[in-house]
Amino acid sequence: MAALAGTPPSNATGLDSVAPRYTVGSVAKATRLLDLVSDAPLDGLTVTELARGLQTSKSTAFALARTLADRGYLRPVDPGPRYQLGLTLVRLGDVAANQQPLRQLCQPILHNLSTSTALTTRVAINDGGQPVFIERVDAPGTIRFHTPLGIPELAHVSSAGKAILSTFTDEQVKEFVTVHEMVRRTPKTIVTLEDLLADLTITRRRNYAVDDEEDVEGVFCIGAAFFDHTGTCAGAVSATGIKRDLAPREVDDIGRAVAAAAGQVTALLRGTPPPATDPR
Amino acid sequence: MAALAGTPPSNATGLDSVAPRYTVGSVAKATRLLDLVSDAPLDGLTVTELARGLQTSKSTAFALARTLADRGYLRPVDPGPRYQLGLTLVRLGDVAANQQPLRQLCQPILHNLSTSTALTTRVAINDGGQPVFIERVDAPGTIRFHTPLGIPELAHVSSAGKAILSTFTDEQVKEFVTVHEMVRRTPKTIVTLEDLLADLTITRRRNYAVDDEEDVEGVFCIGAAFFDHTGTCAGAVSATGIKRDLAPREVDDIGRAVAAAAGQVTALLRGTPPPATDPR
DNA sequence: CGCTATGTTCGGTGGTACCGAACCGAGAGG
DNA sequence: CCTCTCGGTTCGGTACCACCGAACATAGCG
């Protein structure tokens, strides 16, 4: 409805999303700037492009960019200063991923799973039903998938998402799909609540979820959920491969391997968290 | 010199570092907040701890934290809201690393090098002489080294740093060490300009640099520089292992492998970006 | 040689980021 | 059970600063 407002009629300040009180305007604007740069094509954005994207004046965009560049959040590249994301964000992203306690625990498990299955494996945390991947391990020799980290992905089309949803009750799943609509990605995508619940029932029975070209054509995915010490689903492990490289007989073997890996994660989350010496 | 300033006497506003004009105060403060959280222990910081760290009032720290949390830069964790770095930073860090054109090119090369040498391999970009690692590939089965990404590391103690410095003239090296002092990390660390220049001469001759327990005791590192299309050093590849696992005879083999990998990177940066067919 | 488009610099001013103080809510301790 | 304390949250008011518009500098182009 408010899509094609050429000029901002009701809101000239540039604050578009919610302003739930207690928000610092300039900081919010800076985050929007970073989002802009992160979505931009590879060669970065100029000050004027930033100003246009932020719907603000050149001078403001200039000041914001300078500030962020001084702190290393942006990196000015030579010709007519275009801005890319800077190395400080690499550092913060690395630290942020490491602060997710899962990552440390999962790395060796992912490595093992990746070599034993010869597939690309990933681990996602459960963000209210949506899977957010925080780490991946590429299988050596395979083509690299485009698997960005840190973004909530569609739950009903990914094996990790369906693994997470399989820990929900039917009521919870119903509520989930009312807020996250089931968009179609391929002809095989599950788009009705009924079909999804049926799929989840099968998933619960065999302990792993399958995404058979439901997200991307030609791509096959198997995932399994793991649980924290309170028994609630903390996330999921998944393995991804090209469909035609997989013999159908393999699927259940891989599924068991993925489920076993998820079981290892659960065990680590339950049992002794400190790897060092803490005999309390 | 300015190390142990407990209280900022002359500057009560909270703006400590340079304010080279055209800086947005709140955004700078937000970045300091993120730095604080990134350096904090694993369980996050509370609002009051943030306020103390920023030398500001609770309400301000609260507003900043809320804003950053709304955008996913911070993640509030349950008991008495403690803030950790959020998943948005994981995403931005991933994108930032991918925006470094090197990363895409280097990944397969690093994988190959990692499997052929059975070592952990990394790639750093040349940041004015200092190596900043932007990607690592762990060798399967090895212990994991603590190798943070995105931080400028000491040039005179790391193989990647010495590989980069070996592309400098003696004059440039001399200037470099005047601004970056040669701190000692282990008994074997090179701490004089004279010894460093001698080491760099050897490095140039054999085409790879060696860090023999000069940064961390027991750790051995071999690095080689690569060059962009203008012929200037763009960064370095390095391989890391435990010293006692390496037979001395191996060192030169590994050195040649690392140098060859760096040569591949150079070739990709110069010539044909598509890595598909290259039957040279 | 203008002309355009860009990055950069510079006052002035309205909005807002900041602060202090008050209000809650949860534990600890008596 | 009450009180005390500490930390999170909320609220007004004001000094300040983030923002803007306009001007300057510079480069590319017709």
Q: Alpha-carbon distance B254 to B260, whole Å? A: 10
Contact B92 A95 (CB under 8 A): no
Q: What is the DSSP string of chain B?
A: --TT--S-SS--SS--S---SS--HHHHHHHHHHHHHHHS-TT-B-HHHHHHHHTS-HHHHHHHHHHHHHTTSEEEETTTTEEEE-HHHHHHHHHHHHHSHHHHHHHHHHHHHHHHHTSEEEEEEEETTEEEEEEEEPPTTSPPP---SS-B--TTTSHHHHHHHTTS-HHHHHHHHHHS-----STT---SHHHHHHHHHHHHHHT-EEEESSSSTTEEEEEEEEE-TTSSEEEEEEEEEEGGGS-HHHHHHHHHHHHHHHHHHHHHHHS-S--S----
Residue A269 · residue A105 · CB < 8 Å: yes
Mean pLDDT of A186-199: 93
Of A92, A107, A125, A138, which to mutate for an interface test with B (greatest number of B Cβ within 10 Å)? A92
Q: pLDDT of B147-186, one tens digit each? A: 788 889 999 999 999 999 999 999 999 999 999 999 999 9
Structure confidence at residue A158 as a pLDDT band (50, 70, 90):
very high
Please name the nucleotide lying closest to A64, CA to C1'.
D18
Contact B89 A86 (CB under 8 A): no
Q: pLDDT of B100-133, one tens digit each? A: 778 878 888 888 898 888 888 999 999 889 999 9
How many A×B Cβ pairs under 8 Å?
Answer: 175
What are the distances in angstroms from CA A110 to CA A134, B23, B117, B193?
A: 12, 43, 21, 44
Which domains does chain A possess?
25-90 (1.10.10.10), 100-270 (3.30.450.40)
pLDDT above 70 coverage of chain B, percent: 87
Q: Least CA distance to B96: which residue of chain A?
A: A85
Of B47, B78, B92, B121, which to mutate for an interface test with A (greatest number of A Cβ within 10 Å)? B92
Average pLDDT over all residues of chain B = 83
Of B91, B105, B110, which to mutate for an interface test with A (greatest number of A Cβ within 10 Å)? B91
Residue A17: pLDDT over 60: no
The closest CB to that of A111, out of B26, B140, B148, belongs to B140
Residue A122 · residue A240 · CB < 8 Å: yes
Strand C, nucleotides covered by protein (CB < 7 Å): 5-11, 15-22
Residue A51: pLDDT over 60: yes
Mean pLDDT of A185-211: 93
Query: Nearest residue to C25 (CA, C1')?
Result: B80
Q: Alpha-carbon distance A100 to A191, whole Å? A: 32
B236 to chain A, minimum CA–CA distance in Å? 16
Q: pLDDT of B56-90, one tens digit each? A: 888 899 999 999 998 989 988 877 688 989 889 98
Query: Nearest residue to D27 (CA, C1')?
Result: A80
Q: Alpha-carbon distance B98 to A150, whole Å? A: 14
User: Contacts of strand D, CB cut-off 7 Å?
Assistant: A 14, 21-22, 25-26, 29, 56-60, 63-64; B 13, 23-26, 46-49, 58-59, 62, 80-81
Contact A90 B34 (CB under 8 A): no
Contact A95 B34 (CB under 8 A): no
Contact A22 B94 (CB under 8 A): no
Structure confidence at residue A118 as a pLDDT band (50, 70, 90):
confident
| Residue B20 pLDDT | 64
The closest CB to that of B140, out of A20, A62, A115, belongs to A115
A82 three-class SS: strand
| b/e sequence B89-100, b meaning 16+ C-beta within 10 Å | bbbbbbbbbbbb
Residue B60 CA distance to nucleotide C27 C1' (Å) = 26
Structure confidence at residue A127 as a pLDDT band (50, 70, 90):
confident
Residue A214: pLDDT over 90: yes
What are the distances in angstroms from CA B152 to CA A97, A255, B203, B248?
A: 19, 42, 21, 30
Contacts of B82 by beta carbon, 8 Å cutoff, 6+ apart? B43, B44, B45, B46, B76
Which residues from chain A sit within 8 angstroms of residue B63, using beta carbons? 22-24
- Which pair of tokens denotes residue A258? 């993925």
Q: pLDDT of B1-33, one tens digit each? A: 433 333 333 333 333 344 567 889 999 999 999
Q: Alpha-carbon distance A48 to A65, whole Å? A: 11
Q: Alpha-carbon distance A233 to A168, whole Å? A: 9
Please name the nucleotide lying closest to B57, CA to C1'.
C19
Strand D, nucleotides covered by protein (CB < 7 Å): 7-12, 17-23
